[in-house]
Amino acid sequence: MRKPAKKHGPKAEMNVVPYIDVMLVLLVIFMVTAPMLTQGVKIELPKVAAQALASTVEQQILTLSVQADGGYYWNLGSELKTEGQTDSAVSLEEMTVKVGAIIAARGDTQVYVRADQNAAYVHVVAGIAALQQGGVSNLGLITEAPQ
């Protein structure tokens, strides 16, 4: 006697449809969450050399310089000076105390911050934060023109 032929025999193929579904779900999840992971603000800085603004009011100017090793020194006078120094401080705490005393003596002091190009960003920001806590409300940054 002869066996009837089977219409559906065993198959050795793998069913990949569930794997494709899982892959598509993961792709959608990554596409939705990837833009949320980026943090920060995109800005475009001007590409022109800035000119110094003329000051009509006689005010005291303090130029704070941040050295590459994290030290601070400053120059105090009636005009913006980048050469020389009036006083210096080795640590942030010492600078905060000394500059805070200058600001407390004369509240309308204009403060400019300049930093060595090799100075760590954390030292510059810490100096600005210390100035802000010391009562500085008028602050500017000094850069050099590209050569």
Residue 97 in any domain: the answer is yes
Q: Which residue, among 113, 99, 111, 107, has the nearest Cα to 143 in the 3D structure?
A: 113
Distances (CA, A) of 1 to 6, 7, 95: 15, 19, 105
pLDDT of 116 reads: 82
Look up the CATH number of the domain holding residue 67: 3.30.420.270
Each residue's pLDDT tens digit, 61-81: 888 888 888 888 888 877 766
pLDDT of 45 reads: 45
Dihedral sign of CA atoms 124, 112, 72, 114 in order: positive
Catalogue the E-assigned strands of 52-130: 61-66, 72-77, 87-89, 110-115
Residue 31 in any domain: the answer is no
How many domains in the chain?
Answer: 1
Q: Would you place residue 83 in the very low, low, confident or very high pLDDT band (cuts 50, 70, 90)?
A: low
Q: Domain range spanning residue 95?
A: 61-141
What are the two backbone dihedrals, phi and then psi, of residue 31, each rounded to the nearest 5 degrees? -65, -35
Residue 134 in any domain: the answer is yes
Residue 107 in any domain: the answer is yes
Each residue's pLDDT tens digit, 35-70: 777 554 454 445 556 666 555 567 788 888 888 888
Residue 49 in any domain: the answer is no
Which secondary-structure segment (H or E) carries 109?
none
Residues 104-122: what's their mean pLDDT?
83
